[in-house]
Structure 1
Amino acid sequence: MSLIQSKRMVKTEVHKVLERNLEKELEKLDCQFHMLRCLLSQSLSNGVEKSKSSCQDDAEEKISPYLPQGNRGFHKILQALCKNGGRHRSKGWHTVLDLNECLTKHMYENIDAEFNLIFSVNAKTGISVQELIDKFSIINCDTAQPAPPMLNHTEDFIQAQELKQKKKLKEEVVIRKKTIYTSIQTTIKTAMTSCYEEAAEYKGDGSLKRKQKKLLDDIESFKCNMFDNAKQEVLRQSDQLMGDIKEGLKSEIKTSIQHSFAQASNITLLDVSSEIKALEKLSTQL
């Protein structure tokens, strides 16, 4: 009967425990996300350095290929590439000429392994964002204390809300994964846009050589910034995603805790008033 009468005290303590568990789980998730960011950042840096050192040669091979039959017909392909933002599918040559892809290949080569570990959807990598979301729980964490029997429904309710929110966040990861990955090529294409437009304006005799020189000169000029910008854009979008995950979990679970205890307040406790009166009567007779 004493425990029943101390319902408010018990609820307050359990509430504090759940709030502490939430903060600890968020701190742990933040450390894990920081580790993933460092891993991704290092692989991006490697890709940036390789791209800067190789982009000129890679681009020259793509836009100034050795053709046994000479450059006949290639000027039309290069013109189409410039007018189409750096990419052209040649039916006559049965090939796709993509300068943006050529410029980003070393960055992708250097990040693919780490990116697939971090953003794996189905495979168990041990460090994927999906798995870290799955492991997040304020009920099952090591520091969690079991709720009293009278508040078992609180844990059930919170776990149900956790599962719902984690499912939603995991779906968001799948959607944004592609945008993060393609942001490298998007950034490079944007940096090269003015170059493509200007090169497309060259006409007449010698225009092929002038287009090639314009493209190569601008790549040399842009390389100091555009590859670094591509790296920063990947990290920016990744940071935004991980920040949204943490905020989504924090907001939803805090609300779930509040709602669960609001519901607990409406539960009718066992009426022990008659037993208390009986005990009081007995105590006066002693």
Structure 2
Amino acid sequence: MAKAKIKAVYGEIGLTQTYDELQRSAVDIPNTHKKTVTSYSACDLSSQISGYIRSDTESQQYWPLVKKVTVYVPGSSVLLDRIVLVDLPGAGDANKCRDQMWKEYLGKCSSVWIVNDITRAISDKTAMEIQNTTIRNVAGGGECHNITYICTKSDNIDPHHLKRQYNLTDEELGITISNDKKVKNKCILFRNNKVKELVKKNFNEKVKKKLLGTDVNSTEFFKVFTVSSADFWNNEEKKEHILDRDETELPALKEHIKDLYVSHSQKAVKDYVSQVSGIVSFLHIPKENTSTQTEDLKDKLFSELKQKFETRLQDLAKFFDGVYTKMTNNLDEGVKNAEKQCLINALKVLKPKKTKYSGYHKTLKALCRCSGYYRSRDGKIVDLNYALVLPMYAAMDNSFVSCFRLNQNSRSSIKGAFDLLQNDLIIIDKRKHAAVELRLTYIKTELRILIADLETEVIARKKNIYNSITQSVQDTMDPAYKDGAVITGSELVTRIQSRLEEHVESYKLSMFREAKKRVMFQFKQLKDYVIHTLKKEMGMSMKLALTQFPTDVTFPDVEDELKKMKGICKALELDVFQD
């Protein structure tokens, strides 16, 4: 990687020069860390940015120095609005900065697509490791609502080999008139179904355990597509093809992303409409006639709402306390198992079986330099920190996932507790004065907005809570990593292994307990933040909504807008206004 960076700045000759010679080189080094390229042609843009994203070009290659490339396509009718596609570094990219970006973006993505050659999808060990790591990082992120597994190059097949592999006859493939094109078509479709079955079998349980909880059906969450872009374009361009357009599965994949887009857009639209409805309702309040009876009703209503809200907050606090107790018990068991298994798990990383030790010292040195986590150039991941805390994650994953599952409502989830708070707090009585109804509508919409903001905060904190176990162990192990990074000389591998083993043995009785302590402290901080924010913000909203406006206060006339918003809410089946 160091050589690639030198070549990117100084060219091939830079590899033969000393540090002083490089300093004297007449190289134009930009003053800014950003470069903007604009083009009206996709082909021209591809050519201009080629050196920043590809390693197989003859032109100057800057990619070793590039953290990310962002492409904006304004005013395009073929791209969905507000959709951001992130192409993360693949298995062959061992750049530390881009590897960190890989983890960061996985935590932000609402949908994750794993793309792999169909021949590697179910058999390649490195590909499986990357996929397992992807699921693990998504679990720590929190925003993912869908994982899509895409097997490419489905048209790349040897029919004779496949038929021998599965001992298939033409009759079993459903072939009545045998010709090369028909046989290949049926073989492709047969393999596609086989691959889908195997991928789903391999990943459904992992997805449920890490992301959904064992009580949830993962069918809709996890999708598998087997695609052929070559045959798709052959169909589009009226060229000879083996698969029909729909059999390439690219049309189905396009519909899949549209469905994801619609799902997220609907939520965004409903949140926006709810907010506008609340504002319009509030502006319309002073127009309603006030009376002594109405004022008395407001005072009584405020007292009732305040008492009811405090009761619901206590219920929410009890929910968090229940989760806290359950996670504590799970982690106590996880800590015991981690203490028992830590040396065994450490040795699986430090002394793996069937490893060629001739170059293994480089892996160990890299592991120490990178604080216990190393991703090799071929995509292989070595993570000592995670290996040590694996029993803790195994013990807490199910309760943790159930609690932080924000894409589905359940009694064991924070979302379920939030929904219960919203649904049970405000029930508008038709018999009450219209002015009071509008005030309650405003309170309801303010609560909805606040809950949406809190869910975003919960997602952000979930990542820190989940990853704090690994981070805590990494902090404890860091002195040993620093020592291992500077070890040189004879028997280097043995000395590094011994130093790390000794450190694990010395700190095993405190390391995992400290990790548990950090997790529970951060979870308690989340609970305190949620309760405090709800109490403070909704207290202000209720006071504002139920305050007495002076007679000389006038707001814009929004009667037409109020009618319009009621119609929109009805069309969206959004429970904001009382019918």
Query: Which band: TM-score by shorter chain?
Result: 0.7 to 0.9
Matched, 1:40 2:324: no
Q: Contact (CA 8 Å) 2:428, 2:437: kept in 1 or not?
A: no
User: What's the CA shift string for 1:83-125, capped at 9, x where partnerless?
Assistant: 1111223347x62221112111111111111111000021233
**2:524 is the alignment partner of 1:255:** no
Kindly indicate whether residue 306 of structure 2 is the aligned counterpart of residue 22 of structure 1.
Answer: no
Whether contact under 8 Å (1:161, 1:256) holds in the other structure is yes
Structure 2 residue corresponding to 1:82, chosen from 342, 348, 368: 368
1:58 CA displacement: 1.0
CA RMSD of superposed structures (Å)? 2.4
* Structure 2: distance between partners of 1:247 and 1:254: 11
Contact 2:305–2:425, Cα closer than 8 Å, also in 1: no
Q: CA deviation at 1:191?
A: 1.1
- Percent of aligned positions with the same letter in both sequences? 26
Aligned to 1:271: none
Match of 2:432 among 131, 148, 152: 148
Q: Trace 1:4-15 onto structure 2 (pairs within 5 A).
A: 4-15=291-302
Aligned ranges for residues 172-251 of structure 1 at < 5 Å?
172-251=457-536
The corresponding residue for 1:272 is none
Kept in 2, the 8 Å contact 1:17–1:145? The answer is no
- Residues 211-250 of structure 1: CA distance to partner in whole angstroms, max 9, x if unpaired? 1111001001111111111111111111111211111111
User: 2:337 matched to 1:50?
Assistant: yes
3-state SS, counterpart of residue 262 of structure 1: coil
Tell me the distance in 1 between the aligned counterparts of 2:353 and 2:294. 84
Deviations along 1:46-81, whole A, 9 cap, x unmatched? 111110100011111210234475x32212211111
1:6 deviation in Å?
A: 4.6
Shift of 1:164: 1.1
Distance 1:204 1:125 in 2: 58
The residue number in structure 2 matching 1:283 is none
Cα distance change on mapping 1:199 and 1:16 into 2, 3 Å: same
Alpha-carbon distance in structure 1 between the residues aligned to 2:489 and 2:525:
48
Gap regions ≥5 residues in structure 1: 269-286
2:428–2:440 contact (8 Å) kept in structure 1 = no
The letter for the 2-side match of 1:161 is E
Shift of 1:10: 3.1
Q: Which residue of 1 aligns with 2:346?
A: 59
Helix, strand or coil at the partner of 1:136: helix
Q: 1:261 to 1:178 in 2, by over 3 A?
A: same
Q: Could you list the per-position Cα deviations for residues 184-235 of structure 1 after superposition, in whole angstroms to 9, with x for gaps in the alignment?
A: 1111111111110012222111222111111001001111111111111111
Provide the rounded CA distance (Å) in 2 between the counterparts of 1:140 and 1:65. 56
Preserved contact between residue 183 and residue 233 of structure 1 (Cα < 8 Å):
yes
| Structure 2 equivalent of residue 278 of structure 1 | none
Secondary structure of 1:123 counterpart: coil
Q: Which residue of 1 aligns with 2:176?
A: none
Matches of 2:551 and 2:414, distance apart in 1: 38
Number of residue-to-residue matches in the alignment = 262
Aligned with 2:382: secondary structure?
Answer: strand
Aligned to 1:123: 408
Residue identity opposite 1:63 in structure 2: L
Please tell me the residue identity of whatever aligns with 1:140. D
Whole-Å Cα distance in 2 between the matches of residues 227 and 68 of structure 1?
A: 29
Counterparts of 1:62 and 1:14 in 2: how far apart (Å)? 63
TM norm structure 1: 0.83
Distance 1:8 1:83 in 2: 69
Cα distance in structure 1, aligned partners of 2:396 and 2:552: 54
Verify the 8 A CA contact 1:130 1:173 in the aligned structure 2: no
Distance 1:140 1:266, change over 3 A: farther
TM-aligned CA distance change 1:111 to 1:266, over 3 Å: farther
Matches of 1:66 and 1:28 in 2, distance apart?
52
Unaligned runs of 5+ in 2: 1-289, 554-579
SS at 2:375 equivalent = strand
> Structure 2: how far apart are the matches of 1:98 and 1:79?
13
The residue that corresponds to 1:166 in the other structure is 451
